[in-house]
Chains A and B, each alone.
Chain A
Amino acid sequence: MSFAHLHVASAYSTHYGVTLPDALVEQAAAQGASFLAVTDRDGLYGAVKHVRACVAAGIRPGLGAELAVHDEEYRPLGRVVVLAHGNTTGRGYAALCRAVSAAHSTDRDAVRIMAARSATAHAAAHAGAAAAGPSISRARLADLAGLASLTVLLGPDSDVGLAIGRRDNTDAAVRLAHWQRALPAEAVVLEIVCHLAESGTVGSVTPATRMLALAENAGLPAVLSNAVRYGTPEEAVTADLADAARYLLPLAELETPQTNGQAWLKPAGAMRQVARMVVDAGLHDAGALERLLRDTEQLADRCSLDPEHDIGLGRPRMPEARIIGVTGDPVAELWRRATSGIADLYSASGSRAVEAAHAQLAHEMKTVEHLGFASYFLTVSRVADIIRGMGIRIQARGSGVGSVLNYALHTSSVDPIANGLLFERFLSPERQTLPDIDIDVESARRHDIYREVFRAFGSDRVSLMSMTNAYRGRGAVRDAGLALGLPDAQINVIAKQMWRFNARDFRRALEEKPELAALATEVRESQQLDQLVDLTAKLDRLPRHISVHPCGVILSDASLLDRTPVQASGMGLPMSQYDKHDMDPMGLIKLDILGVRMQSAMAHAVDEHHRLTGESIDLDRVPLDDAKTFELIRSTRTLGIFQIESPGQMELVGKLQPEVFNDLTVEISLFRPGPMKNNMPLKYLQARHGEVMPDYIHPRFEPILRETNGVVIFHEQVMRLFDELTGCGLGKADVFRRHLGKPEQLPQIEEYLRERALARGFSEKVIDQVWTVLAGFGSFGFAKAHGAAFALPTYQSAWLKTHHPAAFLAGLLTHDPGMWPKDLIVAEARVLGVPVLPLDVQSSALDYRVEDLADGSQGIRLALPELVGSTEAERARIVRHQPFGSLQDFRDRVHPRRRTFEALARVGALDTFIGYDRTRRHELLAHIQSLRGTAVSIRADQLAFEVELPVPRYSGDRAGAITSLELRGRTQTDLELLDLNLAIGTHQMTRFHALFKELGVTPASELGTLPGGTEVLLAGVRRATNTPPMRGGRRVVFISLDDGTGPVANVVFFHDAQERVGGQVFQTNYMLVRGRTRRSGARGVSVTGENLWNLFDVARQVKERHAVERAAAEEAASAAAYAAELAAHPSTSRAGGTLHHLSAAQSA
């Protein structure tokens, strides 16, 4: 006995279903089912995962969607299940895709308005939630259901079912008749759902048996479903949480909580029991029970989809040749373009290089032809051409960089031959998945590119890709807290602590993490918090919502919208409901066009240089061996440089001391979780600096391992080793490499390798050694292709920082590409002798601009968008009307809002109108504040005030001038932090410098001069916190402190120190730290933190002590005694008296 479930929401019905498709299929198969449909709400979000799971489990998949429907006057008709028919060569599935897309493209406002006006209160309440979402018109649904493509199930949530629920059988019959008239014959089926709820409530047998009677009277088939929301009864709790999250209400306040916990994937026996109870509860004929079950089975047969013929699983579809500008054979065209590309790129390097490139091309083309991917390469190259044609910087990334073909087509700009990259890491006959080429572009132009690609290929062939965002700790605890009705403030406090561990391990984290000790105590004392911990774990990793993927663009032929449902993305362009895991199985070509801010920053630098000098820099042609650039990198002053600016990278760069381009590739590849955990950096550094001899194991491995001094770092090296050992070829070698990460595969690989290697003349001993290395490598390491592709912008940005610091820093400040906050970049500019110039309405632009200064040096002018609270329209007007002759002129042409006007005056952006005499700014501000007038609406909907604005004479009698107290006692830094969130005049830490001196704090700039093991005090503002993966698994916390004297000081807190310091290690932002210096390599130095204090507490205590001291000094009698005490506790030593004082205060 088996039962076919036709109405099942998977966890991809976010905030509704709670079981993942794999689990549902596995359960159904275990229950003996031969069919399972997934019908997610408003879409096919879980469809591909479902179909693949069904194929794996050997059962037939069905697909559908639960959709809201409205009539021709936008009146809601409730929700129905739309099921695709199988064995229609894809017609059913295509109609389903189109129906879902149609539901998402409906004018929602119209539906919402009609839902609000809906006749009955009950329907309004029910339809209200649905109407806010997508809805399809019945007429459109009827069109799509034609040619026997779809079945529409009218269940309890349809208008017919809702009428039954109201006990209005007449209305139900009328509504059903409407459906029958509107839709093709046989498309309408009634759906019987019974959750064995108490009589009189939703889901009881009474409405179910009435629905069955309605079907009998109308002569329509009825099917039984369980409107499934979860696999097992245990998951009903999670569905309760999903309801609370969907309605944004605590469980206790839900108007329609699920009626009970019976919406699970019941096995055949239980479903038959339900059917029996439904039939027994009404007056049905003798065959009713068997008929209901048989009709259900028959509909399942009709809706069984053939993964290949109906859904097109596994069949790639490229854009049509004419779309990519090819008239003849794509293969011939590819040959032609690649050959001419090689002539262009390699001829300068001599005939041997050209020959080698041609040989490699021939090798690659063989594979491309064999796999039939010629159109794919032409498509990607076409997109790259489009982007370049727009004048946008482009850089390929990923394993595709290993292909000469991509290089020759100008898709990639890294020479794979010179860098020793392998095509087989990217594509080989052994690699069955679609190839993946990633393209990095200027982030600021990404949306322009998408629009252009849509235009060039046609919107029926292109879609953005979506991504599924899953619950993580914070979201999970917030929604669990909401469900329990915990106060927002309390949830916020807990949510702030939900990081750096998985929410599903919440309970264990409470036991283990020192910074959670206080929360753990609360949990032990509160029943609600105890529940919160369990519920948070239940939500963790469930899909939460979908959003547009940051870079995925799907390119296909004109059948795209028959194969994927789309909905509008935030930026307006259509987005597929399928995510990246669905691309390859669905044969959808995905191109990653990723916006990289560094590319925008570099483009900005190049533009600025051109604007000022007329010179054009072609970054892609900058020589890769510039000595000064490497000198800068070796100095570890890498702040702002792509990929190597983090504290950990700074440290590694200092140790590694790169000298050539390949060193950068190695450096970037070493700084990855896998190599770090495997201790590769240390092994490599020891060999590099001659502390140990490089161990090549066997002379035949030396050519493979020489570039990394005998340490296996790159995937490419592993592949070459396999090939050398076994002669298996590089394609097969890549298969072995990927299998190294699967422990169960290792014995098989080892056996093969040993046998072949022996035959190829390697000794047992060598094989033992090399196998240990390979097996230990696992899936770690990094593709050199990735590393080299990252190293190029790393080098380019370092080159810019070395030779054009002002333009480069202007680019960084405008596009903010890195991990550091802007004021640290401002500090770096100060150190590099590039002043950041204050905001000025005469010269500040919408971005940071370089200005030539009178002394021949260059400065960077602060950009207008930094002014907090100013509007885009105001800024645009300032830029359009620059320069201004007077304050009156400025007001008349810009019409700023009062708030903006005053802020501009406060920070000094209007100082131009008082002859840059800062001391008179208070007069200017007072004058502006004294202006009165009526708010008037002007262009671009801005408010301005219409008043006379005589420019005051600021010369002459200043005693009679008015003043504004707003500036009194405030430094320029205070004002800048207030209105710009950015101190550019002086560093915000400057005000603490006297305190630092008194405490004996070591400036960050001087850390490098101290020997290792020196006890120091450091202070500053926290700029970054990192918890990189560490060998041994114990968490290490890196804090980067900025005291305004130079680059950041990096403090590392190990486990013992974290226990001492507790939550402060993450919570305190202004801090004083005691620790010891730790030298790393020639230039690198960091500090091992031992304790930390809140800097404001310290400042307060010192101030109090000063007060005490002053009072004491005034009392002559006690002065002598105090002097004696001072003598006993000198406070001038490095970690002197104040600190003891502090320790005492802390322990107290």
Chain B
Amino acid sequence: MPHIIDAPVDVELSPDGDPRAFIWNRFEHTVIGQPQAVFRRTRWWENEGTPTRIDTELWRLDASRGGEEQHRYDLRRGTDGSWVLALDWG
């Protein structure tokens, strides 16, 4: 079962624009393998206001802290470019 984290994190990007590492709880987590981006649409008409985007950008990736065992995480990027660590899949 995934843990809901929902914490803002700093993300370092590769030249191609993929997340390469992120810093969570002062520890750097290094991405392993090819992260996969997914854009999930919203039912924006059910919310207040008119959105600038109709989808949410999520990155599913495997990362490890130092030499520790790798976990699978979901990172979410907001429209303003800020990152949130959404889920830890374990």
Give chain A's interface residues, CB within 8 Å of chain B. Answer: 195-199, 204-205, 233-234, 236-237, 240, 251-252, 257-262, 269-270, 272-273, 276-277, 280-281, 483-485, 527, 530-531, 534-535
A237-B40 in contact (CB<8A): no
Report chain A residues within 8 Å CB of B40: 197-198, 260
Contact of B38 among A198, A252, A485, A535 (CB under 8 A): A198
Contact of A277 among B34, B41, B45, B52 (CB under 8 A): B34
B53-A233 in contact (CB<8A): yes
Give the 6 A-B CB pairs with smallest separation, nearest first: A260-B55, A534-B50, A261-B54, A260-B39, A261-B55, A260-B41
Task: Report the minimum CB–CB distance from B24 to chain A (whole Å).
Answer: 23
B16-A272 in contact (CB<8A): yes
Report chain A residues within 8 Å CB of B50: 237, 531, 534-535
Measured CB to CB, the nearest residue on chain B to A270 is B17
B41-A259 in contact (CB<8A): yes
* Interface mask (B43-62 → A, CB under 8 Å = 1, otherwise 0): 11110111111110000000
Interface check B37, CB cutoff 8 A: yes
Contact of B39 among A257, A262, A276, A484 (CB under 8 A): A262
| Chain B interface, number of residues (Cβ within 8 angstroms) | 22
Complex Cα distance, B41 from A276, in Å, reads 22
Measured CB to CB, the nearest residue on chain A to B51 is A237
Write 12 A-B pairs (CB below 8 A) sorted by A numbering.
Answer: A195-B39, A196-B37, A196-B38, A204-B38, A236-B54, A259-B41, A261-B53, A262-B55, A277-B36, A484-B45, A530-B49, A531-B49
B16-A269 in contact (CB<8A): yes
Complex Cα distance, B77 from A233, in Å, reads 14
Measured CB to CB, the nearest residue on chain A to B48 is A527
A258-B41 in contact (CB<8A): yes
Report chain B residues within 8 Å CB of A236: 53-55
Measured CB to CB, the nearest residue on chain A to B57 is A196
13 more A-B residue pairs beyond the given contacts A233-B53, A262-B55, with a C-beta to C-beta distance below 8 A: A195-B39, A198-B38, A236-B54, A237-B50, A237-B51, A252-B45, A257-B41, A258-B41, A261-B39, A273-B16, A273-B17, A273-B18, A280-B34
Measured CB to CB, the nearest residue on chain A to B52 is A234
Task: Report the minimum CB–CB distance from A1119 to chain B (whole Å).
Answer: 65
A269-B17 in contact (CB<8A): yes
Measured CB to CB, the nearest residue on chain B to A239 is B54
Measured CB to CB, the nearest residue on chain A to B37 is A196
Report chain A residues within 8 Å CB of B55: 236, 260-262
Report chain B residues within 8 Å CB of A273: 16-18, 37
If A197-B39, A236-B54, A237-B54 touch, whether A531 touches B34 (CB-CB below 8 Å) is no
Report chain A residues within 8 Å CB of B39: 195-197, 260-262
A277-B54 in contact (CB<8A): no
Complex Cα distance, B38 from A738, in Å, reads 53
Give chain B's interface residues, CB within 8 Å of chain A. Answer: 16-18, 34, 36-41, 43-46, 48-55
Report chain A residues within 8 Å CB of B38: 196-199, 204
Complex Cα distance, B51 from A260, in Å, reads 13
A234-B53 in contact (CB<8A): yes
Give the one of B38, B39, B40, B49 with max A CB within 10 A. Answer: B39
Complex Cα distance, B59 from A4, in Å, reads 26
A277-B37 in contact (CB<8A): yes
Complex Cα distance, B37 from A280, in Å, reads 12
A276-B16 in contact (CB<8A): yes
Complex Cα distance, B44 from A236, in Å, reads 11
Measured CB to CB, the nearest residue on chain B to A257 is B41
Complex Cα distance, B18 from A272, in Å, reads 11
Report chain B residues within 8 Å CB of A257: 41
Complex Cα distance, B72 from A655, in Å, reads 84
Report chain B residues within 8 Å CB of A483: 45
Complex Cα distance, B16 from A348, in Å, reads 83
Report chain B residues within 8 Å CB of A281: 36
B43-A252 in contact (CB<8A): yes
Task: Report the minimum CB–CB distance from B59 to chain A (whole Å).
Answer: 10
Report chain B residues within 8 Å CB of A280: 34
Measured CB to CB, the nearest residue on chain B to A237 is B54
Complex Cα distance, B16 from A93, in Å, reads 37
Complex Cα distance, B39 from A260, in Å, reads 6
Contact of A237 among B16, B17, B36, B44 (CB under 8 A): B44
Complex Cα distance, B39 from A281, in Å, reads 16
Report chain B residues within 8 Å CB of A534: 50
Complex Cα distance, B34 from A273, in Å, reads 11
Measured CB to CB, the nearest residue on chain B to A485 is B45
Complex Cα distance, B38 from A196, in Å, reads 5
Complex Cα distance, B44 from A810, in Å, reads 58
Complex Cα distance, B38 from A257, in Å, reads 17
Give the one of A233, A272, A534 with max B CB within 10 A. Answer: A233
Complex Cα distance, B60 from A196, in Å, reads 12
Task: Report the minimum CB–CB distance from A674 to chain B (whole Å).
Answer: 37
Task: Report the minimum CB–CB distance from B65 to chain A (whole Å).
Answer: 24
Measured CB to CB, the nearest residue on chain A to B34 is A280
Give the one of A199, A204, A261 with max B CB within 10 A. Answer: A261
Complex Cα distance, B50 from A272, in Å, reads 30
Report chain A residues within 8 Å CB of B53: 233-234, 236, 261
Task: Report the minimum CB–CB distance from B71 to chain A (whole Å).
Answer: 20
Report chain A residues within 8 Å CB of B17: 269-270, 273
Complex Cα distance, B37 from A276, in Å, reads 11
Report chain A residues within 8 Å CB of B48: 527, 530
Measured CB to CB, the nearest residue on chain A to B58 is A198
Task: Report the minimum CB–CB distance from B28 to chain A (whole Å).
Answer: 23
Task: Report the minimum CB–CB distance from A3 to chain B (whole Å).
Answer: 14
Measured CB to CB, the nearest residue on chain B to A531 is B50
Complex Cα distance, B37 from A735, in Å, reads 56
If A197-B39, A252-B43, A260-B39 touch, whether A276 touches B34 (CB-CB below 8 Å) is yes
Complex Cα distance, B50 from A348, in Å, reads 72
Measured CB to CB, the nearest residue on chain B to A280 is B34
Report chain A residues within 8 Å CB of B34: 276-277, 280
Task: Report the minimum CB–CB distance from B48 to chain A (whole Å).
Answer: 5
Task: Report the minimum CB–CB distance from A205 to chain B (whole Å).
Answer: 7
Complex Cα distance, B38 from A140, in Å, reads 40
Measured CB to CB, the nearest residue on chain B to A484 is B45
Report chain A residues within 8 Å CB of B44: 237, 240
Report chain B residues within 8 Å CB of A252: 43, 45-46
Task: Report the minimum CB–CB distance from A165 to chain B (whole Å).
Answer: 18
Task: Report the minimum CB–CB distance from B80 to chain A (whole Å).
Answer: 13
Measured CB to CB, the nearest residue on chain B to A258 is B41
A205-B16 in contact (CB<8A): no
Measured CB to CB, the nearest residue on chain B to A204 is B38
A240-B54 in contact (CB<8A): yes
Task: Report the minimum CB–CB distance from B43 to chain A (whole Å).
Answer: 7
Task: Report the minimum CB–CB distance from B61 to chain A (whole Å).
Answer: 12
Give the one of B38, B45, B50 with max A CB within 10 A. Answer: B45
Complex Cα distance, B44 from A234, in Å, reads 13
Task: Report the minimum CB–CB distance from A263 to chain B (whole Å).
Answer: 10
Task: Report the minimum CB–CB distance from B33 to chain A (whole Å).
Answer: 9
Task: Report the minimum CB–CB distance from B26 to chain A (whole Å).
Answer: 29
Report chain B residues within 8 Å CB of A251: 43, 45
Measured CB to CB, the nearest residue on chain A to B35 is A277
Measured CB to CB, the nearest residue on chain A to B43 is A252
Complex Cα distance, B56 from A218, in Å, reads 36
Complex Cα distance, B41 from A197, in Å, reads 9
Complex Cα distance, B17 from A370, in Å, reads 59
Complex Cα distance, B37 from A196, in Å, reads 6
Task: Report the minimum CB–CB distance from A525 to chain B (whole Å).
Answer: 13
If A233-B53, A272-B16 touch, whether A531 touches B36 (CB-CB below 8 Å) is no
Report chain B residues within 8 Å CB of A530: 48-49
Measured CB to CB, the nearest residue on chain B to A279 is B34
Complex Cα distance, B55 from A240, in Å, reads 12
Report chain B residues within 8 Å CB of A205: 36
Complex Cα distance, B19 from A685, in Å, reads 74
Report chain A residues within 8 Å CB of B45: 251-252, 483-485, 531
Report chain B residues within 8 Å CB of A262: 39, 55
Give the one of A195, A196, A240, A535 with max B CB within 10 A. Answer: A196
Task: Report the minimum CB–CB distance from B31 to chain A (whole Å).
Answer: 14
